[in-house]
Structure 1
Amino acid sequence: MNKILLYFLLFVGIQSFSQELNCNLVINAQQTGNENFQVFTTLEKQLTEFVNNTTWTNKVFKPQERINCSMVITITNKSGDLYNGSIQVQSTRPVFGSTYSTPVYNVNDKNFSFRYQEFQNMVFNPNQFQSNLISVIAFHVYMILGVDADTFALKGGEAYFQQARTIVNYSQQEGFSGWKLEDGLQTRFALIETIQSQTYKEYRQVLYDYHREGMDQMYEDVKTAKKNVADAIIELEPMNNRRPNSYLMRTFFDAKADEIEQVFSDGPSVEITKLTSVLNKIAPIHAGKWRSIKF
């Protein structure tokens, strides 16, 4: 919490919405044994330009309004033009009145295979399949945009989530894993299905309450803001009662566990008995962090 509180210094220029992407994209091909192949460097360069230069929405963007994010693609196997691996996607958004950025999206997508020929064109069509490489990248771009928008306005990311669903729908027929119900419980299909489902309705409310009513109020009243963050987390309990240990819940705490530990381990004291009880129930994998909370 000391580190977080230090960041809560007033600054100018936070807008209502972060816009577009400032993405650090990395290709990790060490597991192939041929990480020095030029094709991996070319792929990294092409994808970096594709993600950062594509116009993903109809908004007007300023450089300082771009969403900071990262994509790390780990290639485990390459056979001809077929690549297999995973992609770790993370994003943050600025907190009002501070220089601190809070993590909001953290997904490890393990169902990632694609075909790529060096220097092939990379163009996104919102209504038509181009390649699995483009579909997976674009899906996560719209998930980043959707989650980010939800943290600023209640259900503000709906249009972006709908585009992510469109990508899922037109990619299902192409024979790649991760797009269908039968592909498992931790897939792109599962992610968009749950985030738009009434069964998990608390999730999007919590995104808003945690960030706008909690983190964004730290600059004005830290104690009240901490209480609001705690109340937002507790809102997840009914969702967990309906679907224990859901993929959506895990992605939330993959992004937030470290921050929650820091927020409630220092600064003004708030009542945390209910909070820690709920945390241990809905996110037991992070029990060590919850035990570290001191107040």
Structure 2
Amino acid sequence: MRNLIVAIFFLGFILFAEAQELNCNITINSDQVSQTNQQVFKTLERSLNDFVNKNKWTNKVYKENERVNAQIFITITDYESNRFKGNLQIQSSRPVFNTSYETPVFNYKDNQFNFEYIEFQPLVFNENVYESNLVSVIAYYVYVVLGLDADTFELEGGNEFFRKAQSIVTQAQGSNSSGWSQSTDRSRFELVDNLMSNTYKEYRVAMYNYHRKGLDILGDNNSTGKQIISGTMNLFDTMMKRRPNAFLIQTFFDAKSEEILNVFSGGPKVDIIKLKETLNRVAPLYSSTWNDIKY
């Protein structure tokens, strides 16, 4: 009996110690749909939360405090006969060393989201077969989020995850569902293809330098951290000269614009004039934000 108790305790300890990869909250908004029975949306929301948070997406061992924090907001704009149409907003973050601050890593909106779903239908992901657009889209973004998070801790640390996302794209392209096509502007294909392309290599170097060499040392050495973050902006300048209006540049600043403003709005000084010139070149959509960087 004692051995049995010890075995159960040990198993429980292992299950606790080796957590799933994600701590993700999925919310569904169906306010735009004239549907008297809202239960199907609530059921779908519960199923998606279980699907993302209880699945084991990799062979890596994650401790509870290493789980990647994320949120997915799904807005349903049309629903008829088990067919859903809408969009989803994906956000992820990771902690900054020696602080209580969570830095945004990914903030992205996908407007090409449609799928079929029958209430209580099991959501099962098979990485070798395309079976459901709902499952494929969510699994794709799981791997993108995991890949980007890994890139902030290790240079090109997300390769394994991005390859899985690419595999999902390849399988889904024959489905004729929107958002996967190579010819569609800012599609799921384009996002992960650019992440893996040598043409945009500076983006992933910037993700590592900005987070691991910059933000993570701000608490201990604010001046050096700010200098590294400022210098990281030059990588986007280099990438932009090769590929003007690069898709990935916008995804970075969609997540980081307010944070960059806060980092450089106080503390040890850097060359703000040169920094603002660079920021206005690489991310002109946020020029009003850059103009607020003042001492």
TM-score, normalisation: structure 2: 0.91
Aligned-partner SS, 2:152? helix
Is 2:149 the partner of 1:157?
A: no
Structure 1 spans left out of the alignment, 5+ residues: 1-17
Q: Alpha carbons of 1:91 and 1:129: their partners in 2 closer, same or farther (altered >3 Å)? A: same
Q: Alpha carbons of 1:213 and 1:60: their partners in 2 closer, same or farther (altered >3 Å)? A: same
Counterpart residue number, 1:258: 258
- The amino acid of 2:154's aligned partner reads A
Counterpart residue number, 2:219: 219
Q: Alpha carbons of 1:152 and 1:85: their partners in 2 closer, same or farther (altered >3 Å)? A: same
Aligned mates of 2:87, 2:36 — CA distance in 1: 16
Aligned mates of 1:128, 1:118 — CA distance in 2: 22
Counterpart residue number, 1:108: 109
Give a deviation string over 1:146-182, Cα, whole Å, max 9, x none: 0000000000000000000000000000110111112
State the Cα distance separating 1:99 from its structure 2 match.
Answer: 0.9
Aligned mates of 2:87, 2:186 — CA distance in 1: 13
Q: Is the 8 A contact 2:94 2:102 kept in 1?
A: yes
**What is the 5 A alignment of 1:118-133?**
118-133=119-134
Aligned mates of 1:76, 1:188 — CA distance in 2: 20
Aligned mates of 1:247, 1:19 — CA distance in 2: 30
**What is the 5 A alignment of 1:1-295?**
20-34=21-35, 37-183=38-184, 185-295=185-295
Aligned mates of 2:270, 2:20 — CA distance in 1: 34
Aligned mates of 2:157, 2:274 — CA distance in 1: 29
State the Cα distance separating 1:267 from its structure 2 match.
Answer: 1.4
Q: Is the 8 A contact 2:69 2:94 kept in 1?
A: yes
State the Cα distance separating 1:269 from its structure 2 match.
Answer: 1.3
Aligned-partner SS, 2:28? strand
- The amino acid of 2:79's aligned partner reads K
Aligned mates of 1:90, 1:177 — CA distance in 2: 21
Q: Is the 8 A contact 2:20 2:53 kept in 1?
A: no
State the Cα distance separating 1:36 from its structure 2 match.
Answer: 5.5
- The amino acid of 1:219's aligned partner reads G
Q: Alpha carbons of 1:234 and 1:204: their partners in 2 closer, same or farther (altered >3 Å)? A: same
Aligned mates of 2:20, 2:69 — CA distance in 1: 10
State the Cα distance separating 1:34 from its structure 2 match.
Answer: 2.7
Aligned mates of 2:171, 2:241 — CA distance in 1: 33
Q: Who wins on radius of gyration, i.e. which is larger? A: 2
Aligned mates of 2:163, 2:57 — CA distance in 1: 13
User: Percent of counterpart pairs with the same letter?
Assistant: 48
RMSD, aligned CA: 1.3
Aligned mates of 1:56, 1:238 — CA distance in 2: 35
Counterpart residue number, 1:13: none
- The amino acid of 1:124's aligned partner reads F
Aligned mates of 1:22, 1:193 — CA distance in 2: 26
State the Cα distance separating 1:19 from its structure 2 match.
Answer: 7.0
Aligned mates of 1:89, 1:83 — CA distance in 2: 18
Q: Is the 8 A contact 1:19 1:65 kept in 2?
A: no
Aligned mates of 1:34, 1:275 — CA distance in 2: 51
The count of aligned residue pairs is: 277
Q: Alpha carbons of 1:19 and 1:260: their partners in 2 closer, same or farther (altered >3 Å)? A: farther
Give a deviation string over 1:223-268, Cα, whole Å, max 9, x none: 1101100111221101111222222111100100010011001111
Aligned-partner SS, 2:203? helix
State the Cα distance separating 1:283 from its structure 2 match.
Answer: 0.5
Give a deviation string over 1:121-150, Cα, whole Å, max 9, x none: 111111211200000000000000000000
